[in-house]
Structure 1
Amino acid sequence: MFDPRKLAVLVAVVEHESITAAAEELMFTASAVSQQLRKLEQEAGQPLFRRRPRGVIPTEAGYLLATHARKVLRQLHAAQSDMEELARGERGTLKIGTFPSLAASFLPRVLDTYRAQFPAIKLSVHSTIFDALLEELERGQSHLCFLWDYPWKRFGSTGIRSEEIFQEPSVVLVSDSHPLARAHDVGMADLRDEPWVSRANDHPVVEVLDRAAAEAGFRPDITMYANDYQEAQAMVSVGIGIAMVPMSAVALQHPKVRILSLRDTLPERRVLLAQREERSSTPAEMAFRRLVLDLARQPEISPPGLPA
């Protein structure tokens, strides 16, 4: 059986492609790291690295073992986190992971209601991007976390169980001076000649727009890639372009932006609540889950300003 300490050394060397850099990160000597790698190669029965004039590069076996090692180390971190909570008697703490658009819309009402019902529970909330949320959940740094997916890429991860909370549609944003500002809804075919503001860094909403436009027979003309939805709204408000966003992204609506429903039937975004499979839910976690599901069934999850 592989020693987790050697596996941690392996992962560090693979990520840095340097024994010296890995040694600095781990606060070991370079010779100690080399010795650990030699022992690990003996245990694996094959070379894990190829030496180069500057640094090292993993062999296929090295890459494969490092992939398994990352999973093992995450599980060990999660176990340590659970044990530390038990030792400190902190079962009254609930750590929630979430993403920005949900944190600005549905989640505040959940937290407000939860705190009123369970004032002795200490709440900790962290909002970040999808991959970071998943890693924090796997490492035991959050107890529950909200995730999302679309029909063409359903969420699934070994060791994580998830359940759907609700689905939300996409809406179109226009400035209050746009010819469509007084419309109730709009079809994608009517927007083929419009400039668009979309999200940057290959954000999933870009794929939603591309798929919707393709169904309507055109390719969207992107005039700006925004870093967040508030920035996108600001650009829409001054006529840089129109935008397509998930409904929860406009819970905080810009005063000069109008929200239009889409007549077209587009795939909806699912909002999920996820937890590690091996974790036994505490009473605080079970109460939070029940509350989330109860509130999600209520019609008030729609952000203010959405056309009725």
Structure 2
Amino acid sequence: MVDFEWYRSFISIYKHSSVSEAARTRMMTQPAMSQHLASLEAEVGEPLFTRAPRKMIPTERGKALYTQVVPLIEALEETTQTLKTNAATALPVIRIGSAHEFFREKLAPHIGSFQMRVIAYLGVASKILEFLLEEKVDLIVMSQKLSAPGVEYIPYMQEEFALVAPPDFGEPTFDDKDSFEAWLCSQPWISYDLDLPIIRRFWREHFQKRPQTHPTHVVPDLHGVLKAIEHGAGISLLPTFMLDDHLSRNKVKIMYPSYTVHNDLYLAYQVKNRNLPHLKTLIEALKKAV
């Protein structure tokens, strides 16, 4: 089998008309260069050079081989150099997991400034934690600190949830909290989940009890919930980071703005990767983005 280096040595001898000069150019010993040439001539089956005093003269077979081989070798070397250059200048790849809505509203507008190639994996908290444990992602944004071996959580930000309704929705005043709570229970609620996770927290924080209401609609996508509210389907609690455009266009309104609830978000990653440079860079970029 022909060795690629034999061809490179052959081309160098051809260009310099000298084994010693070719060896010097390729930083090889002269015996090693001569061995390359001898091996190639044995493979071809005939001499490629005529040995003259202080000069190597290509034979007709040598000339023909040179004409055939040079474009191929040069193209291969150019491709190799291009790959090395691209590898040296390529942006690092980072894989992020988060909820769909959070990525769309808070991360997607900033990924162009991260100086990284971002691959996003989106889903609910349990799913993106699974992605992290399976090493499909490097870092996740979580609204819960779910227990998992080898996973470290660091505080990231707080998201604020507000009561959102259609723009023409009635907003009566109340003399006491009990009346307000009773009115809220009588409204058509749109929930992200049958378990009412953020609605239950809202009730605990403001009324110190569990909600005595059931959702009229369950839509497992916050943008879907927002669209349903726009069209008068009911009210819900939504993160305020989703609302700016819809509020400015009078598509929805925030009711009772003093009645909000906050949710802590965390960045999570595998402890063994905490000192990886690209992970540290991403965490800093994410902190600047909020």
TM-score range, shorter chain: 0.5 to 0.7
Spell out the pairing of 1:224-263 with structure 2 (5 A cutoff): 224-250=217-243, 253=246, 255=249, 256-260=251-255, 262-263=257-258
Q: Which amino acid in the other structure matches residue 283 of structure 2?
A: R
Equivalence for 1:286: 280
1:172: which partner in 2?
163
Q: Identify which range, 162-171 or 250-259, moves more after superposition.
A: 250-259
1:28 aligns with none
Distance 1:165 1:246 in 2: 16
SS in structure 2 of the partner of residue 105 of structure 1:
helix
Distance 1:280 1:218, change over 3 A: closer
TM-score of the pair, normalised by structure 1: 0.55
Q: In structure 2, what is the Cα distance between the partners aligned to 1:180 and 1:229?
A: 23
- Matched to 2:154, the amino acid is E
Correspondence for 2:263 among 243, 250, 269: 269
**Contact kept? 2:188, 2:234, Cα under 8 Å:** yes
| 1:104–1:249 CA contact under 8 A, matched in 2 | no
Name 1:108's counterpart in structure 2.
Answer: 108
Is the contact made by 2:199 and 2:211 (CA closer than 8 Å) also made in structure 1? no
Q: How does 1:29-44 map to 2 (within 5 A)?
A: none
1:195·1:223 contact (CA, 8 Å) conserved in 2? Answer: yes
1:135 match: secondary structure: helix
2:130 corresponding residue in structure 1: 135
The equivalent position to 2:154 in structure 1, one of 163, 182, 185, is 163
- Find the structure with the greater CA-based Rg: 2
Asked if 1 retains the 8 angstrom alpha-carbon contact of 2:106 and 2:241, the reply is yes
Distance 1:265 1:126 in 2: 29
Match of 2:31? none
More helix as a share of residues: 2
CA contact (8 A) 1:168 1:269 kept: yes
For residue 295 of structure 1, report the CA deviation from its aligned partner. 2.9
Q: Percent identity between the aligned chains?
A: 15
Output the aligned Cα RMSD.
3.1
Mark the CA change 1:199 to 1:224 in structure 2 (over 3 Å): closer, same or farther.
same
- Which of 189, 199, 203 is the equivalent residue of 1:196? 189
Residue type of the partner of 1:272? Y
Q: How many correspondences in the alignment?
A: 195
Q: What residue is the counterpart of 2:40 in the other structure?
A: none
| Paired residues of 2:97 and 2:137 also in contact (CA < 8 A) | yes
**Mapped partners of 1:265, 1:245: distance in 2:** 10
The 8 Å contact of residues 93 and 117 in structure 2, kept in 1 or not, is answered as: yes
Q: Match of 2:58?
A: none
Mapped partners of 2:166, 2:274: distance in 1: 49
| Runs of 5+ unmatched residues, structure 2 | 1-86
The one-letter amino acid of 1:96's match is I
